[in-house]
Amino acid sequence: MHHRETGVLPPVDDIIIGLDIGTTKVCAVIGEVQNGRTINVLGIGTASSGDGVKKGAIVDIERTTQAIINAVEEAEKSADVVIDNIYVGIAGAHICSMNSQGIVAIKGNNQEITSEDIDRAVENAKTAVSIPPHQDIIHILPREFVVDEQKDINNPLGMVGGRLEAQVHIVTGAVTAMQNIMKCCEMAKLKVEDVVLQQYASSMAVLSEDEKKLGVVLVDIGGGTTDLIIFQNGHVVHSHSIDIGGRLVTNDLAVGLKTSTQTAEELKISHGVAFSELADSQLTIEVPVAGGERTKPFQQTFLVEIIEPRMEEIFYEVKKQIEKHVSLDVIPAGVVLTGGTSLMSGCPELAEEILDLPVRRGAPIDVVGLHEQVRKPQYSTALGLIRYGAQNYRAPTRESGALNGIIERIQSWLRKFFTD
């Protein structure tokens, strides 16, 4: 295995690397956040996952490690820096999410709410739910706080009250999935600062604060999974991973057209349409037959007959999730599609017909630097990881236990599992 060279250039502290380990590709983006919001992109690197990742989960450590090394090295070369600390995304069908609440009485004479009170309320919310076995917490995202009977409080710090209630959204993932991510990054000589839910990262790159306040659904359609996250009043109310993505569309085309997976992928990108009304019945495409020199003509309408049912399956599952957790009429900002597969012609139109909501494609916003290259839906997760990293950065105390609880727990598991 080719190893990453470290220490050739001085490491830079306030520059962050976002690493999106996807089913189709591994993508590394190096950037810095300016004025609290704008991402200045300094370097980009991508590498094929090469069957190392299936449906969002790592299935081949060596291949995935090599893809990570290749992507990070390419990004470091274009940025002319060496970064060891990364923020990495996680997705897949193993992800679970639930809402919980925790209540505490406010002590002290003046009954002023302190940060300790907030921590206690959040901790109570955490212990109020049973985390599935073999799962561990990835995020505890505050939804809202209630002080006495006063609702819709974003930050209760310093307020006076007798009773504090924290309503939170808890995201958990399979311990082994996290361990495999950590193992690959460690083998690539990278230090994981935090593991972040991919659709949460994407939402930080693509959605405006106004959309989140109004009520919006982000649907990130990747190669192996489709990940959705629902916001209301500026907070996450539901998140979910569906293990269907663009890779299945490619497989369907390969079977239906009796051609290679690579040809099917190229055809999907060049002539794929997700919505039958947009297909050109006059257009004929010559498709190479698998293993032979011959080509066979197919009409674009035939391609749509293969693609549309699979994309419908994705959007009907999205609809089911929305209706189960919120009602369709409280999503005024509609649905935002991102991720590589959302680029397919007809995707927004099909989604709009099924979901009966306004739908648009979303690409990363507030990006400068190499923005022309990365202002595309397939880079949403990696750019969102940079924004997440900037908001949760703990540079000065990094050596002294700055890695939050989840990372420390994972590292202790790693030592236990992998030092034998």
Q: Which residue has the tokens 């020199």?
A: 293
Q: Looking at the chain, which residues constitute the CATH 3.30.420.40 domain(s)?
A: 209-362
pLDDT at 392: 85
pLDDT at 327: 83
Strand order in the sheet with 25-34: 191-197, 85-90, 16-21, 25-34, 38-48, 367-369
Distance CA 155, CA 158 (A): 9
Closest by CA to 141, choosing from 36, 218, 229, is 229
Q: Which residue has the tokens 């990365």?
A: 374
pLDDT at 84: 85
Closest by CA to 137, choosing from 194, 214, 61, 54, is 194
pLDDT at 402: 34
The Cα-based distances of 390 to 9, 249, 394 in angstroms read 22, 35, 9
Distance CA 417, CA 180 (A): 11
Residues (pLDDT < 50) of the chain are 10, 395-403, 409-410, 412-414, 416-420
**What architecture (CATH level 2) is domain 96-173?**
2-Layer Sandwich (3.30)
Q: Looking at the chain, which residues constitute the CATH 3.30.1490.110 domain(s)?
A: 96-173
209-362 belongs to CATH 3.30.420.40: yes
* DSSP result, 215-266: -EEEEEE-SS-EEEEEEETTEEEEEEEES--HHHHHHHHHHHHT--HHHHHH
